[in-house]
Amino acid sequence: MLYNEQLITEAVNKTRYERAHRLEVTYPLNGTPQLVFHTSWVERDEATGEEKQLEFSRSVGDTYSADEGFPLFTGGTATHEDLMGLLYSLFFHTMSKEDAA
């Protein structure tokens, strides 16, 4: 699934879509978490399948709301609380691997 997908018909057919290339999570002590997605345009050459990341598109933020749900590509739904729990668990996992090295 591609976001903001556009088919560009020229001498070479291309598909252009918006891709989040960076995710910022701000989790202040005693504050409300904030998620910011930074996106770029990507063009895919339909003949070769080659993709190129183009210019920055935009930054879109979403403020944490524990019970707000969203659909998962794999099926089902998750909440912001689920996501923050996963990210916090990943933090502990990553730090434990680093400290064990």
Report how many domains make up the chain: 2
Residues 41 and 74 placed together within one structural domain of the fold? no
pTM of the complete model? 0.77
Band (pLDDT 50/70/90 cuts) for residue 5 is confident
Residues 79 and 44 placed together within one structural domain of the fold? no
Task: Name the more confident of 3 and 21.
Answer: 21
Report the percentage of the chain scoring pLDDT > 70: 96
Residues 55 and 70 placed together within one structural domain of the fold? no
What residues contact residue 15 under an 8 Å CB cut-off, 6+ apart? 2, 5, 6, 7, 8, 43, 44, 46
Residues 11 and 55 placed together within one structural domain of the fold? yes
Range of the domain at 37: 1-64
Q: Report the candidate in 65, 47, 57 with the shortest Cα–Cα distance to residue 17.
A: 57
Q: Model confidence over 28-77: pLDDT tens digits?
A: 999 999 999 999 999 999 889 999 999 999 999 999 999 999 999 999 99
64 Rama sector, left if φ>0, alpha if ψ -120 to 50, beta otherwise: beta
Band (pLDDT 50/70/90 cuts) for residue 6 is confident
Please name the helix (run of DSSP H) or strand (run of DSSP E) that holds residue 19, with its range, or none. Answer: strand 14-26
Band (pLDDT 50/70/90 cuts) for residue 3 is confident
Residues 15 and 37 placed together within one structural domain of the fold? yes
